[in-house]
Amino acid sequence: MQLQGIGAARGIAMGPALVLRAEAPTSSNEEQSVAPEAIPAEMERLAQGLAQAQEALTALIARSEGPAAEILTAHQIMLGDPELLAAAQQEIQSNRVPAEVAISRAGEAIAQVLAGLDDPYLRERAADVRDVARQVVRVLTKAASPLAALRRPSVIVASDLAPSETAQLDPALVLALATETGGPTSHTAILARSLGIPAVVGAANLLGQIEDGQMVAVDGSKGRVWVQPGGEELEQVEGLLRAAKLEAEELKSLRNLPAITRDGHRVELAANVGHPGDSHAAMEAGAEGVGLYRTEFLFMNRGDVPTEEEQFEAYKAVIQAMGGRPVVIRTLDIGGDKELPALGLEKEANPFLGVRALRLCLRRPDLFRTQLRALLRASAFGPTRIMYPMVSGLDELRAANTLLNEERAKLIAEGVAVGTDLQVGIMIEVPSAALISDLLAPEVDFFSIGTNDLIQYTLAADRMNDGVAHLYQPFHPAVLRLIKHVCQMAHAHGKWVGMCGEMAGDPTAAEVLVGLGLDELSMAPASLGVVKRAVCNTSLTEAKKLALRLMAGGALTPSASPPAPVG
């Protein structure tokens, strides 16, 4: 039997199912009533449960990296939310329920508010609040995590996997994931992609069809799940598994080779990272450098702003881990969908068009100067490329460079080492910057095209809004023409141009990007192999022809599959 869901992380796997049925750990306790004189003790039990859950998270964070560490840190902040505590205390006080019931009800109330919001990203966060409450319930009831049953390589099947559970998965024992709920931006999906585990989300009625131990196959590229495949279905799955194995071997053999087209044109392939630990995955996957280090993750999910020293250590760690390969470090890109509570920013009606990224940094020079100093100091440890996000005109670039030059002069006067292999560039993610790239090019060392934003701003289609997802088209001729123009202007001034948006990691886009003139493509480490293969399989001549055809409104070649929805 074959079920259809949403492909959330590419790859195919088959194995015995481990079905995680929803827990109802508080149901037997719902009936219990706390005697009035026992209320203070129950309040104390609640506080202890919260503290123990915090401790468990701290230990887990220390063992995690990348998105897993970020998600768990966000959970710590949710656990410390005074609103959650107050609501749970209120339940004990007014309804005289035990602490586990109180925290469960308090979490559910907050989750329901989130689940009712329009923003799909915030809606997905309801799962995080429920997860956080469940972690406290488990501590209070001394219940084991359902994943304790995972002892042999299995396909995990669940209604919705709790983010904390996904973060703890042992990739050696998890062949694939399949869930009934969740979308491509759910944490299950994000983590599965970062761990390289095939995943399908949103497959309705999964739990009704699968028993523990039954054979299940998951195709994370096309969103398919097979239960007990037999006959033709089994042949199909086995064919896919054989092809995947051959592909994995082929991609592994490319790991240390450069990306060169059949007619000798070289393209540099780099990795996007968001956390110092990610640089190991980048090196493992054969990245020639880091094309985008999103520094904002260092600032998010915390109550304060990192000091110059803390930032210096994080930037230095990535530069050193890359062992002499260039590292593009982007200055703070807060605003839009990324919040930074410590700055107490005002709510904006259109945050993607508001005081975001470089605009915010220029308004808060204290914050910006600290980051620039940390970056300049870290540049003494290897080739460093400082990159400003969201530049829309020359004045912003010049204002940023003025601050950078002032901080550099101060450091030198203080006798502090600053790197000599240092370049300064900008992201091209606003159409105005693309259109005046001839004016910007003389004042930078490089451009990196941020298609995630460039597409949304060019086509007026919010990158987070499912309702306009059909209009968010990476291959739209308007987008391709802007990319081509930027490449031409950069090259006319002897500057290199890269791309660090999601489009750079899409193997079906690789040929056209080569044809448009990109010198460097930067992507999630897991995409490096497939993109390298796509570059090696084309020629510059063919790629240029394809680019011309698409810019004129033509379609991708009939043989090329449509862009995959997942990374």
Residue whose CB is less far from Mg ion, 6 or 357:
357
Q: Choose from ligand PEP, Mg ion, none: what does 451 bind? Cβ within 5-8 Å by kind.
A: ligand PEP
Which among ligand PEP, Mg ion, none contacts residue 294 (Cβ within 5 to 8 A by kind)? ligand PEP
Give every CB contact of residue 541 below 8 A, 6+ residues apart in sequence: 263
The C-alpha atoms of residue 517 and residue 488 are separated, in whole angstroms, by 7
Closest to 503 in 3D by CA, of 489, 518, 490: 518
Which part of the chain contacts ligand PEP (CB under 6 A), choosing from 71-79, 84-92, 319-327, 446-454? 446-454
Q: Is 181 left (phi over 0), alpha (psi -120 to 50) or beta?
A: beta
The beta-strand segments (E) located in 371-484 are: 384-388, 422-428, 446-449
Q: Which of 487, 491, 500, 536 is catalytic?
A: 500
Closer of 203 and 524 to Mg ion (Cβ):
524
Both tokens assigned to 152: 């042999």
Contact predicate 125/63, CB 8 Å: no
The torsion region of residue 508 among left (phi > 0), alpha (psi -120 to 50) and beta comes to alpha
Contact call for residue 429 and ligand PEP (CB under 6 A) = yes
Number of H helices, E strands in the chain: 23, 17
In the annotation, is 500 catalytic? yes
105, 294, 325, 373: which one binds ligand PEP (CB under 6 A)? 294
Considering only residues 180, 453, 506, 511, which one is a binding residue for Mg ion as defined by CB under 5 A?
A: 453
Q: Which does 506 bind (CB under 5 to 8 A by kind): ligand PEP, Mg ion, none?
A: none
- C-alpha to C-alpha distance for 351 and 331, rounded to whole angstroms: 18
**Strand, helix or coil at 178?**
strand
Calculate Rg over the CA atoms of the chain: 25
Lookup: tokens for 114: 């989130």
- Residue from 163, 450, 507, 525 touching Mg ion (CB under 5 A): that is 450
* Closest to ligand PEP by CB, 52 or 465: 465
Out of 187, 265, 275, 485, the active site residue is 187
Least Å distance, CB 425 to ligand PEP, is 13
Select the residue interacting with ligand PEP from 54, 185, 228, 452 (CB under 6 A): 452
| 391 binds, options ligand PEP, Mg ion, none, Cβ within 5 to 8 A by partner type | none
Instruction: Show contacts with ligand PEP in window 481-500 (CB under 6 A).
Output: 500
Establish whether 476 is a catalytic residue. no
CB 168 within 8 A of CB 40: no
Q: What are phi and psi of 323, to 5 degrees?
A: 50, 50
Give which of 267, 342, 263, 258 is closest to 300, Cα–Cα.
Answer: 342
**Helix or strand or coil: residue 177?**
strand
Judge contact between 210 and 216, C-beta under 8 A: yes
Nearer to Mg ion, 5 or 450 (CB): 450
Residue 500: which of ligand PEP, Mg ion, none does it interact with, CB under 5 to 8 A by kind? Answer: ligand PEP
Nearer to Mg ion, 198 or 450 (CB): 450
The partner in contact with residue 165, picked from Mg ion, ligand PEP, none with C-beta cut-offs of 5 to 8 angstroms by kind, is none
Token match 């011309």: residue?
548
Query: Shortest gap between Cβ of 131 and ligand PEP (angstroms)?
Result: 25
Site for ligand PEP in 166-185 (CB under 6 A): none
Residue 42 near Mg ion by CB under 5 A: no
Of the pair 228, 452, the CB lying nearest ligand PEP is at 452
Residue 233: its H or E element: helix 231-254
Q: Which residue has the tokens 């605009």?
A: 359
Q: Report the residue number, 59 or 478, with the smaller CB distance to Mg ion.
A: 478
Long-range contacts of 274-277 (CB under 8 A, 24+ apart): 274/66, 274/67, 274/70, 275/65, 275/66, 275/67, 275/69, 275/70, 276/314, 276/317, 276/318, 276/321, 277/65, 277/66, 277/69
Q: Binding to Mg ion (CB under 5 A): which residues in 380-439?
A: 429
498 touches Mg ion (CB under 5 A): no
User: Of the listed pieces 38-46, 210-218, 262-270, 451-459, which binds ligand PEP according to CB under 6 A?
Assistant: 451-459
Q: Which is nearer to Mg ion, 160 or 429 (CB)?
A: 429
Query: Which listed residue (229, 289, 501, 567) binds ligand PEP by CB under 6 A?
Result: 501
Q: Which of residues 301-340 bind ligand PEP (CB under 6 A)?
A: 333
* Residue numbers 250-279 binding ligand PEP by CB under 6 A: none
Question: How near is the Cβ of 497 to Mg ion at its closest, in Å?
Answer: 16
**Min separation Cβ 253 and ligand PEP, Å:** 29
176 neighbors 220 (Cβ within 8 angstroms): yes
Task: Give the residue with the Cβ less far from Mg ion, 200 or 524.
Answer: 524
Stretch that binds ligand PEP, among 195-203, 444-452, 489-497, 528-536 (CB under 6 A): 444-452
Q: How far apart are CA 8 and CA 184, in angstroms?
A: 5
Report the 10 Å Cβ neighbour count for 170.
10
Active-site positions read: 187, 500
Residues that bind ligand PEP (CB under 6 A): 292, 294, 333, 429, 450-453, 500-501
Residues that bind Mg ion (CB under 5 A): 429, 450, 453
